[in-house]
Amino acid sequence: MTQSLIRAALHVLPAVAALAMTTAAQAQVRPALVRSVDEPARVPYTQRMAPTCSFTNQCTASFPVVPAGKRLRITSVQAIFYNANFNAFLAVHTGAAQQIAVAFTVNPIPGYFYGTLLSTQQAVDLTYEAGEAPMLEIGCNAGNTFMADVRNLMGVSGYLVDTTP
């Protein structure tokens, strides 16, 4: 009698295990629905532009002013400069006074058939209110010169959020 119970249990056990795995799998494929009430009307934002070089060793890019009723959250900044074989910095400016919020070192890399490049992409988390404008600056030692090249670009990425209901 004991052997017949053991055999019966061995036949039932795989079915119970399969049922348990099916239930677990069903629970995993049903994601929870989430809504961010703090960020309604989130709109992706990307701007790239050729910089303006007021001095041979400093270039800036001033991006459009954040429109009324919006807030801009910048999550990434980018820069690429061609034919630049020297160290530089990339600074992100904020506020009405355009103070430096953060700065990064940018080192030259071999671009092979593109020449030597200064290229970077950095994660940031900066907020600009309506009426403010993001600005990027790249600078280097006075003995170096940024060459005018239409391929030179500076950019920001993030998203716009409605501030008025």
What pLDDT is recorded for position 3? 64
**Residue 122 per-residue DSSP state:** E
Residue that the structure tokens 């348990």 belong to = 20
Range of the domain at 92: 43-162
pLDDT, tens only, 26-73: 555 666 555 555 555 689 999 999 999 989 999 999 999 999 999 999
CATH for 144: 2.60.120
Rounded to whole angstroms, the Cα distance separating 39 from 163 reads 9
In a domain, 134, yes or no: yes
Residue 83 lies in a domain: yes
Establish if 155 belongs to a structural domain.
yes
Question: What confidence tier does 8 reach under pLDDT thresholds 50, 70, 90?
Answer: low
Task: Give the total number of structural domains in the chain.
Answer: 1
CB neighbour list of residue 30: distance below 8 Å, 6 or more residues apart? none
In-domain check, residue 130: yes
Residue 12 has pLDDT above 80, yes or no: no
Mean pLDDT of the chain: 85
Instruction: Compute the distance between CA of residue 156 and CA of residue 139 in angstroms, rounded to an integer.
Output: 17
